[in-house]
Amino acid sequence: MGERSVALGQNPPIPPAVNGENSSIFNRDLSLYPTTPNGSQLQQLRRSRLPAPSEKPDPNYPEPRTSEQLFLLVDDNPINLKMLEVFMKKLNLPCRTATYGGHAVEKYRENPKGVVGVFMDISMPVMNGLEATRTIRKIETGAAAPRCAVFALTGLA
């Protein structure tokens, strides 16, 4: 296997998480590297969801998100879930956790306008990450909530 070198200060290329028929449910690019004075793209994503006081709301987002903005972390492996939670706390980003897809959907339903992003394990029992993401997309439509970013995670790569 060949190695790719990345110049200091540049982000390495991030491969697409999902291809084919499922790519429409995951709709954002992401860099975790703090490449700007405003912090990482996760921190910027969280801040970008509320309109500035002087701005009119974007017509693509019928209502602004609630003031309680958080990330939803979903994984059936407790060690992986704890690692994600520690990572988010280091970035000072609020989060809630769920242990399987159905639990994630329940948590999302509690606050659909407050969830900024979901880190979703793909392979889980009962309801997998793809099914849970499809259900979340349906809830967003019904609740007139802005689309949250969904980031696919897997340990099977």
Query: What pTM was computed for the model?
Result: 0.63
Cα within 13 Å of Cα(111), Cβ side: 16
In sequence order, which ranges of the chain are alpha helices (DSSP H)? 41-48, 78-90, 101-110, 129-143
Number of H helices and E strands in the chain, helices first, is 4, 4
Evaluate whether 87 touches 93 at the Cβ level (below 8 Å). no
- pLDDT recorded at residue 60: 52
All domains of the chain in start order, with CATH: 69-157 (3.40.50.2300)
CA distance 142 to 112: 10
- pLDDT recorded at residue 58: 53
pLDDT per residue as tens, the chain (157 positions): 444 444 444 444 444 443 344 434 444 444 444 555 566 666 666 555 544 555 555 555 444 445 578 999 999 999 999 999 999 999 889 999 999 999 999 999 998 889 999 999 999 999 999 999 999 999 998 888 888 999 999 877 6
Evaluate whether 69 touches 46 at the Cβ level (below 8 Å). yes
- pLDDT recorded at residue 81: 95
For 49, list phi and psi in degrees, rounded to 5. Answer: -80, -20
* Cα-based distances in Å from 9 to 5, 30, 36, 139: 12, 16, 11, 39
CA distance 42 to 156: 24
